[in-house]
Amino acid sequence: MKRGLYYVLICLVGLTAFSCNKQLEITPVDQIPDARFWSTERDLDGSVAGAYALLRKTLSESPRVSNAADLNGYHPRHYMYGDRRGLIFASVAQDPLRSTLDADLKQNRIRTVIGGTRQWDEILFNWASFYQIVEQCNLVIENAHRVADNQFITYTREMYVAEARFIRAFTYFYMVRVWGDVPLNTKSRTTEKLARTDMNTVLDFVETELKTAEADLLKDYAQSGRNAIRATKGTVHATLAHVLAWRHKDAEAVSYATKVIDGGVYRLLTVSPGSTADKVNYMNIWKGKSAEGIFEIEFDAASGEYGTNGSLANLTLFGGVYASRKEPLWGISYIKKNVAIDGTVSWVKTRVDDPRVFFPDTTKDLRYTTNFDKAINFNPGNTFVFRKYGFAVDPVQNLFEANIVIFRVADIMLLRAECNARLLNYGPARADLDAIRNRAGLEAWTGTDADLYLEIFRERTRELLGEGHYFYDLVRTGYITEQDPEIVSTKPDMTQADFDEGAWTWPVSNRAFTDNPNIQQLRYWQRY
């Protein structure tokens, strides 16, 4: 075995992504030869890179069909948790893993109804991969002191530890948004049979860790492209803004969002009317490492990192230019109001073939004119291509390199607007909302203060479509339990009583209960 994690994990990517010109397996961290490993800055840098790689592998992981020749990841974690769960996307044809998936998701019976579907319990319900990330970070934090002071040339020991703290804190925040209460472990190689920790205790830990990490992280890197793919002070500030907004600590969330927006490292890209260069720069946000990107999971063909599994590009691209298939695997969807001749109203889940449902102004709205294209070769009913992730390495083989954009400036500005609206600070909330609308080529919003909070939610839906935010936005704003479909219709069925019992979370995999009597399902998932 080659020495250390640098050779093993730095090249690790998603299940069907390719890096270092071959697919790699994870080497368990308990196989690292400790006595020889923690000797140089290179060892420590490689260990931190391994944590980022494990994060990439985890967020892009997906159940697959049993056909070995089919490399498609039909249900990748990041987009299942953040988008598909909220019904903003749906299968175009019959889902190859479960034909009734969209109806099942709407009814929110995903443990009893979908849990038996191949790999759902093993992957989407299973938090084990997230705890591999935590384990990697724990090892770095516990062993960084073993590298001698004279070994540090490029960065400091404290910076590497701060990166590990950030990744660990981000991972716990991500898990809380998926499962609610999760076991909190801060020691490597623990054998304790840990119970689930109350999510507020976990989030207290996350806040403390992020604030501790901030002091030792760089403001920015000499290579600006690294600012989105390695932790900086701004990355911490953006994560804290989301953590605090999730907890409705709105004044503090506004403060951290402002640090990002005014920090001088990241900026909202501007697009001048008629400027082709500006339009290309805007589209490259989702290729990755733009000035707007704050934290991203990198897929870069130049480094040999690309793939099909786990990419929204693979799920949404088609039409002969961007991919060879004649229809996408996932299509944008919504729950549509139908009014019969007799006046009877029904609400029906519907595929969006014409994106004007979301973007009424198709002559001005940048999100429409750049992120959608007409297909050339397509099956009926599949006219428009959602090309936000339209960066193909090989459209015939369906290989893509678009990054997973976790946080970007437009997201943080609209998050600040949301928090200010909850605080009844309507002027600043409108200013941020209008800044995003103006960048998209639209006029200032003219609605009432009473409708502002809902409009910010709708603007986040338009601006961040397909970026893994929609379901979390439903939960954070409280619209997940809205019973009036005229206000919010596209969401799973959920009452406030269901929400209080944990219906907004995901069930825990059966594997978590193996030899651990201290783990329990939340009350809702004990029933459903």
pLDDT of residue 400 exceeding 70, the answer is yes
Q: Does 18 have pLDDT greater than 50?
A: no
Lowest mean pLDDT among 6-20, 204-218, 240-254, 260-274: 6-20
Res 95 pLDDT > 90: no
Mean pLDDT of 190-196: 93
| pLDDT at residue 78 greater than cutoff 80 | yes
Cα separation, 313 vs 315, in Å, equals 5
Q: How crowded is residue 188: how many other Cβ atoms within 10 Å of its Cβ?
A: 17
Determine which helix (DSSP H) or strand (DSSP E) holds 192, and give its type and residue range.
none
- Annotate 407-446 with DSSP letters as a single string: EEHHHHHHHHHHHHHHTT-HHHHHHHHHHHHHHTT-PPP-
pLDDT for position 94: 80
Return the residue matching tokens 């969807």. 333
pLDDT at 35: 65
* Rounded Cα distance, 296 and 227, in Å: 9
DSSP run (H or E) holding 346: strand 345-351
Q: What rounded mean pLDDT belongs to the chain?
A: 89
Tell whether the model's pLDDT for residue 423 goes beyond 80.
yes
Triad 157, 1, 130: Cα angle to 5° = 55
- Nearest Cα to 386, choosing from 406, 368, 407, 361? 368
Whether 49 has a pLDDT exceeding 70, the answer reads yes
SS3 call for 53: helix
The angle formed by the CA atoms of residues 63, 66 and 69, to the nearest 5 degrees, is 100
Residue written as token pair 């992280």? 217
Residue 425: what are its φ and ψ, rounded to 5°? -90, 75
pLDDT recorded at residue 383 = 81
- For residue 32, what pLDDT is reported? 54
Q: Say which residue, 24 or 52, is predicted with more confidence.
A: 52
Tell me which of 257 and 29 has the higher pLDDT. Answer: 257
Number of helices (H) and strands (E) in the chain: give both, helices first: 19, 11
What pLDDT, on a 0 to 100 scale, did the predictor assign at position 28? 41
The secondary structure element, H or E, covering residue 463 is helix 452-463
User: Which among 310, 308, 281 is positioned nearest to 297, based on CA atoms?
Assistant: 310
Give the residue, 496 or 374, on which the prediction is more confident. Answer: 496
Residue 119 clears pLDDT 90, i.e. is over it? no
- On the CB side of 184, CA atoms within 13 Å amount to 16
- The arrangement of strands across the sheet holding 392-394 comes to 17-18, 306-307, 399-400, 392-394
The pLDDT of residue 101 is above 50: yes
Please state, in angstroms and rounded to a whole number, the distance separating the CA atoms of residues 440 and 461.
14
Quick one: average pLDDT of 205-223?
97
Structure tokens at 198: 């109350």
pLDDT in tens, 263-310: 999 999 999 888 889 989 999 999 999 999 999 999 887 777 776 667
**Mean pLDDT lowest among 93-102, 170-179, 265-274, 283-292:** 93-102
Distances in whole angstroms, Cα of residue 243 to Cα of each of 211, 283, 408, 480: 12, 28, 15, 18
Tell me what pLDDT residue 236 has. Answer: 98
**pLDDT value at position 57?**
93
- Three-state DSSP at 146 gives helix
2 pLDDT more than 50? no
Residue 377: Cβ within 10 Å count: 11
pLDDT band at residue 7 using 50, 70 and 90 as cut-offs: very low
Q: What is the mean pLDDT of residues 208-232?
A: 95
Rounded mean pLDDT, 359-379: 86
Q: What is the mean pLDDT of residues 242-248?
A: 98
Q: Which two tokens stand for residue 162?
A: 């701060």
Residue with tokens 């939340």: 522
Residue 113 burial (10 A CB sphere; 0-12, 13-18, 19+): middle
Mean pLDDT value across residues 142-151: 96
Residues of the chain with pLDDT > 70, as a percent, come to: 92
Q: Which two tokens stand for residue 39?
A: 């000797």
Indicate whether 211 pLDDT > 50: yes
The yes-or-no verdict on residue 375 having pLDDT over 70 is: yes
Distance CA(515)–CA(306), nearest Å, equals 37
- Asked if the model's pLDDT at residue 447 lies above 80, the reply is yes
Q: Which of 3-12, 56-65, 237-246, 301-310 has the highest mean pLDDT?
A: 237-246
Mean local confidence (pLDDT), 166-189: 97
pLDDT reported for residue 99 = 81
- Cβ count near 511 (within 10 Å): 14
- More reliable by pLDDT, 36 or 513: 513
Of the listed ranges 36-40, 242-246, 426-430, the one predicted with least confidence: 36-40
